[in-house]
Amino acid sequence: MRVHLGSDHAGFELKSHLSDRLRELGYEVVDHGPVEYDPVDDYPPYVMRAAVAVVNDAGSLGVVIGGSGNGEQIAANKVRGVRAALAWNDDTAKLSREHNDANVVSIGARMHTVDEATGLVERFLTTPFSGDPRHARRIAMMSHYEESAELPELPAPPPLQ
């Protein structure tokens, strides 16, 4: 599986570590930058390139990294077709794939040790989407909105008693 990486200065060191670790595990890693540490760089150019690559590369997943991961998640989610999730523990990494079929995970490098962050990424990459119809239905609603700007229909109110 191909994994697209993008970060900013705060995530640069973790991105470098993950690039090596994921290659060791047999993943094909594509690093969208930055290629060197710059303490004043901006994350959108790197993160959004990684996100676009995931959308254009069927079957791939993405990992975006910053200080908290919040801005990187927001930037990735601006790309049509991306479902980026901020993972802060094992359950959020796992459920983002199982329930939401997230294709990008965002990690806060300043929020975790290297080992913790690596574990979150590995959990994300190894967890499949459950395929549960209720989750697929919800994802379809969001995808439809993304394409059409039409809000999902509200459920019928319960009958009065």
Q: Write out pLDDT tens, residues 111-159.
A: 999 999 999 999 999 999 999 999 999 999 999 999 999 999 999 998 9
156 lies in a domain? Answer: no
DSSP code for 150: P
DSSP code for 103: S
The confidence score (pLDDT) of residue 89 equals 98
Domains held by the chain: number: 1
99 is annotated as an active-site residue: yes
Full domain range(s) for residue 82: 2-129
Selecting among 4, 9, 72, 112, the annotated active-site residue is: 72
With a threshold of 0.85, does the pTM exceed it?
A: yes
- Burial label for 72, CB within 10 Å (0-12, 13-18, 19+), is buried
72 is annotated as an active-site residue: yes
Locate tokens 């994994």: which residue?
3
31 lies in a domain? Answer: yes
136 lies in a domain? Answer: no
The CATH number given to whatever domain includes residue 28 is 3.40.1400.10
The confidence score (pLDDT) of residue 161 equals 80
Residue 99 binned pLDDT confidence (cut-offs 50, 70, 90): very high
Selecting among 99, 116, 122, 135, the annotated active-site residue is: 99
Residue 70 binned pLDDT confidence (cut-offs 50, 70, 90): very high
